[in-house]
Amino acid sequence: MSRTDWTRLLTLSLLWGGSFFFVEVALTGLPPLTIVWLRVALAATILGIVLRAGGLGLPPRVAWPALLVMGVLNNAVPFTLFVLAQGQITGALASILNATTPLLTVLVAHAATSDERITPAKALGLGFGFAGVMVMMSGASLGGAGLAKLACLGAALSYALAGVWGRRFRRMGVPPLATAFGQVVASSLILAPIWLWVDRPWTIGWPGAEVAAAILGIAVFSTALAYLIYFRLLARPGRQTSAS
């Protein structure tokens, strides 16, 4: 990886790490699905404005089926699982469990690609990594915090699948900004009917300035800006990156 790639990766880790803090604050005033939908809908609005201001076109029609899958794998499923989990465990623990995403990405890439095989060095790293996961999961029951930890691991697996799936957009010639926009638009549309049915948002009162600021933070920084960087990395040959 180049120095620019490492800088982008470090920036991503900071932006995505902040999402767990924002979620903890948002949960004090809003239900989980409302947080998730506002996150992707606001990010879609922001990226749409940037796309329009830059004079760039929308993703081509042929890319939308793949973007729908990406919206499910990289947004709808993991965002929802992490928010639900943080109702039972701390954001710090959720972020630690999210760190299993690179481990799972290595496994998914090995199974789904021909150019990202597991080497002996990778296998050794995977062994140490999963040993750490087992320590974190030890003594957990299938309820409460134990179930929340499993939800975090499920979200990490979804991110891993998305990291491999997202490589196709470079081959399709879809620019990173258009890919980021299409993904959050797709997840917004997928989540909207579920959100309306479950949370009945018209019954929710104003959550307060602190919660509103957390929603803006997670939408602007941990989603819109983060995915601009994320898809630039995926546009590089042979790159997979995990999200949050």
Domain regions of the chain by residue span:
3-234
Tokens of 159: 């991110």
Q: Are 215 and 30 in contact (CB under 8 A)?
A: yes
Residue 6 pLDDT more than 80?
no
Q: How far apart are CA 113 and CA 152, in angstroms?
A: 25
How does residue 5 score in pLDDT terms, banded at 50, 70 and 90?
A: confident
Between 8 and 25, the more confident residue is: 25
pTM, two decimal places:
0.86
How does residue 240 score in pLDDT terms, banded at 50, 70 and 90?
A: very low
Q: Are 15 and 222 in contact (CB under 8 A)?
A: yes
Give pLDDT, residue 62.
94
DSSP 79-90: HHHHHHHTTTS-
Q: What is the pLDDT of residues 195-228, one digit of tens each?
A: 999 999 999 998 999 999 999 999 999 999 988 8
Give pLDDT, residue 236.
64
Q: How far apart are CA 217 and CA 14, in angstroms?
A: 13
Between 97 and 119, the more confident residue is: 97
Task: Return the minimum-mean-pLDDT range out of 17-26, 52-61, 95-104.
Answer: 95-104
Q: How far apart are CA 166 and CA 158, in angstroms?
A: 12
Between 174 and 125, the more confident residue is: 174
Q: How far apart are CA 194 and CA 60, in angstroms?
A: 27
Closest CA to 169 of 73, 62, 77: 62
Residue 54 pLDDT more than 60?
yes
Closest CA to 87 of 16, 14, 149: 149
Give pLDDT, residue 29.
95
Give pLDDT, residue 242.
46
How does residue 7 score in pLDDT terms, banded at 50, 70 and 90?
A: confident
Reported as type and span, the H/E element at residue 103 is helix 101-112
Residue 136 pLDDT more than 60?
yes
